[in-house]
Amino acid sequence: MKIRLHQFLSKCGIFTSKNEVKNAIWNGEVSVNGSTVKDIKFEFNPNTKPVTFKGKVLTLPTSDVYFLLNKPEGVICSRLNAQEKELKKKSVYEIFKNDVSSTVYESLITIGRLDEDTTGFLLVTTDGKLVDKITNPKNHVSKKYLVETEWGITEDEISKIKSGVKIEISDNDYYERYVSQPANITLDDENIAVLTIQEGKKRQIRRMFSALGNYVISIHRLAIGEMVLSNYDLEEGEFQEVTLDEINQYIFQ
């Protein structure tokens, strides 16, 4: 992936201001792939073309990064394949494309996945170990959702969700049958619930309510553990960098 030269230099950690970056380029002190470049908007692939400043090779930081995104509706949590591109699908990764280095962009992974139509709390990182730590069922990490259903949620539905819902999946030659783990549920309105679960099977919440004869209109993830989206001033589609210490404090306290 390509990145502009001034963006690359700003992320290298050796310049203290944007003016220093610009002056280094304009003064002919920066070369890309052996050639001096004086255009701050010059685009190149840092994975294939080395950059030097006064003869010293520069590299992007290799430490992991962590982002909290308020996921918008209509984006998928995977890289786009050829078929999805033809269908004009949008990927959550495209949100980061112009705001992070190409090295970071190519290394980003979501911590778990939200359905295309599900919004809200989503951690995106380069740290594969953290992904496994949060998504591993053995660690019992809770995820909290605001769920709106088509019809009012009955006491019987609440009781079954709290004890476990029998779910059957039949798709062509694929068949699966399981009982969801007990979940915590409270009502905000007759058809709006706050649901907390510790497992994350594909389309689980939608399938739980469907198995009970009710249907989900919308899902918004509110939090993972005690890390709550509303504590961050993020509109849908916005993200901000967070720290690993912050994540550990609120999710694994």
CATH number at 50 reads 3.10.290.10
Give the Cα separation of 124 and 109 in Å (integer). Answer: 6
Q: What is the CATH number of the domain that holds 116?
A: 3.30.70.580
Task: Let me know whether 159 and 210 are in one domain.
Answer: yes
Q: What is the pLDDT of residues 60-86, one digit of tens each?
A: 766 889 999 999 999 999 888 889 999
pLDDT of residue 191: 97
Task: Let me know whether 203 and 150 are in one domain.
Answer: yes
Rounded mean pLDDT of 145-156? 97
Please check whether residue 16 lies inside any domain of the structure: yes
- Identify the CA nearest to 161 among candidates 141, 181, 134, 137: 181
Task: Let me know whether 213 and 99 are in one domain.
Answer: no
CA distances from 75 to 65, 71, 88, 124 (A): 22, 8, 10, 14
Q: Which residue type does 174 have? A: Y
With the CA atoms of 136, 206, 66 and 45 taken in that order, what torsion angle do they form, in degrees rounded to the nearest 10?
A: 110
Please check whether residue 84 lies inside any domain of the structure: yes
Q: What is the CATH number of the domain that holds 193?
A: 3.30.70.1560
The answer to whether 33 and 44 have CB atoms below 8 angstroms apart is yes
Give the Cα separation of 183 and 163 in Å (integer). Answer: 7
Task: Let me know whether 70 and 105 are in one domain.
Answer: yes
Cα-to-chain-centroid distance, residue 172 = 30
Task: Let me know whether 154 and 102 are in one domain.
Answer: no
For the chain, the average pLDDT equals 91
Q: What is the pLDDT of residues 161-196, one digit of tens each?
A: 999 999 988 877 788 899 999 999 999 999 999 999
Please check whether residue 240 lies inside any domain of the structure: yes
Q: Strand, coil or helix: what is 174?
A: strand
Task: Let me know whether 218 and 240 are in one domain.
Answer: no
- Identify the CA nearest to 37 among candidates 4, 59, 75: 4
Task: Let me know whether 122 and 146 are in one domain.
Answer: no
Please check whether residue 229 lies inside any domain of the structure: no
The answer to whether 69 and 241 have CB atoms below 8 angstroms apart is no
**Residue 179's beta-bridge partner residues?**
166
Range of the structural domain that residue 110 is part of: 66-137+234-251
Alpha helices (runs of H) in the chain, residue ranges in sequence order: 5-11, 18-26, 82-86, 102-107, 128-135, 155-163, 204-211, 244-251
Please check whether residue 38 lies inside any domain of the structure: yes
Task: Let me know whether 162 and 117 are in one domain.
Answer: no
The length of the chain, given as a count of residues: 253
Task: Let me know whether 73 and 124 are in one domain.
Answer: yes
Backbone angles phi, psi at 148, to 5 degrees: -110, 130
pLDDT of residue 1: 63
pLDDT of residue 161: 96
DSSP 77: S
Place of tokens 């709006």: 192
Number of domains the chain contains: 3
Please check whether residue 81 lies inside any domain of the structure: yes
- Confidence class for position 134, pLDDT limits 50, 70, 90: very high
* Residue that is last in its domain, among 18, 34, 58: 58
Give the Cα separation of 111 and 239 in Å (integer). Answer: 14
Q: Which segments of 72-114 are extended strands (E)?
A: 109-110
* Residue that is last in its domain, among 29, 58, 87: 58
